[in-house]
Amino acid sequence: MRKIAIGLVIALLATVPWIIGGRYAFHVATMITIMIPLALSINLTLKLGQLSLAQPAFMGIGAYTGALLTMHLGFPPVISILAGAAFAAAIALATGPIFLRIKGVYFVLLTYAFGQIINLIFQHWTSLLGGNNGLFGIPKFSIAGLNLGTIPGGYYALGLVVALTSYLALRLFETSDAGTICDSLNEDEMLCRSIGADAHAWRVAAFTLSAFIAGAAGGVYAFYIGFISPDTFGFQASVDLIVMNVIGGPTSALGPVLGAIIVVPLLELLRDARQYQLLVYGISLIFFVIYFKQGLVSVIERPRKLSNAGHA
């Protein structure tokens, strides 16, 4: 009952931009739908008991790849976005086996370093990626002859599709055997391995999925904004995503969604006053860590672990 109610509230919220109308409302709403998959992708790595700071890099890889494929090779945008996501996933698949051998704070540092390296490539590969000036003139997203730029909320609708798909993918992951295994690995790896779990393969698989989701969000971002530059995919983006997870609550896929819905409008409001943004972050983090350790989502649904134990 409660879940249906929450679903309805979010569905109603999703229609608000069309009711309000206007470019600004659509812009904020579109940014929310782009940040939701990213917050979900970092949430997936948290499920493995690892905090990845590489997600903005995967977003950037998806964004640049998607933009270049359409700009230079004339791929249809949908194909470009999927190819960009697949490329980000491929890089996660190649690096994951190395990264995921390392745990805890070292993993955080390693993924931070990886993010910086990718960002340096964005900055210095001027001939292909445009360097610090970024990549201009990314064509508008069009599908079946329909240019999304000409429809009110066209990009928002695209973002909604991607956000909803990511959310459902994460829910499916959480509730399937894969989720059971990742939770179990996180709780007692030695036990899981003794029963035969290939812990490493499972971690790499989840990391790859998280990169695919981040890459897809990056592709949508590139076609929506029409311009991408390295600083979008830097460390600050990781901080934003972590804050969304803390405020929304990392224990359930709904948490990062709520986090994005709350944090993105704040980011947009405070776009010209970075110092206030940090202040708001600081205060809200202290508030949530003290009073809502499991985030907003704990107010709505009981934390998953406990409810599992209770019902099963």
Partner 1 sequence: MPAMLEVDQLSKRFGGLIAGDNICFSVQVGQIFGVIGPNGAGKTTLFNIIAGHLPPTAGRVLFEGRDITGHSSDRIGRSGIGRTFQAVHVFKNASVRENLRRAEVIALRHHPFAYLSRRKSARADQCEIAKAFGLADQMDSIAGALPYGLQKMLGVGMALMSSPKLLLMDEPVAGLNPSEKLAARDVIRRLRDDWGITILLVEHDMPLVMDLCDRILVVNHGKPIALGTPAEIRSNTEVIDAYLGEEYEFA
By the criterion CB under 8 A, which residues form the site for partner 1?
177-178, 180-181, 184, 187-188, 190-199, 201-202, 205, 305-306, 308-309, 312
Distance, CA of 272 to CA of 276 (rounded, Å): 9
The alpha-helical segments, DSSP class H, found in 74-198 are 77-99, 105-124, 126-129, 154-175, 177-187, 189-194
Minimum CB separation from partner 1 for residue 97, in Å? Answer: 13
Residue 141, amino acid? F
Which residue number, 53 or 211, has a Cβ lying nearer to partner 1? 211
Which residue number, 11 or 190, has a Cβ lying nearer to partner 1? 190
Distance, CA of 257 to CA of 171 (rounded, Å): 12
Which residue number, 32 or 206, has a Cβ lying nearer to partner 1? 206
Which residue number, 168 or 201, has a Cβ lying nearer to partner 1? 201
Minimum CB separation from partner 1 for residue 304, in Å? Answer: 11
Determine contact, residues 58/92, Cβ cutoff 8 Å. Answer: yes
Give the phi and the psi of residue 135 in degrees, each rounded to 5.
-105, 120
Q: Write out the two tokens for 207.
A: 């990391």
**DSSP assignments along 171-208, one per residue:** HHHHHSHHHHHHHHHHH-HHHHHHTT--HHHHHHHHHH
Minimum CB separation from partner 1 for residue 6, in Å? Answer: 25
Which residue number, 189 or 231, has a Cβ lying nearer to partner 1? 189
Minimum CB separation from partner 1 for residue 39, in Å? Answer: 24
Type and span of the H or E element at 147: strand 146-147
Residue 260, amino acid? A
Which residue number, 187 or 268, has a Cβ lying nearer to partner 1? 187
Minimum CB separation from partner 1 for residue 20, in Å? Answer: 43
Minimum CB separation from partner 1 for residue 94, in Å? Answer: 16
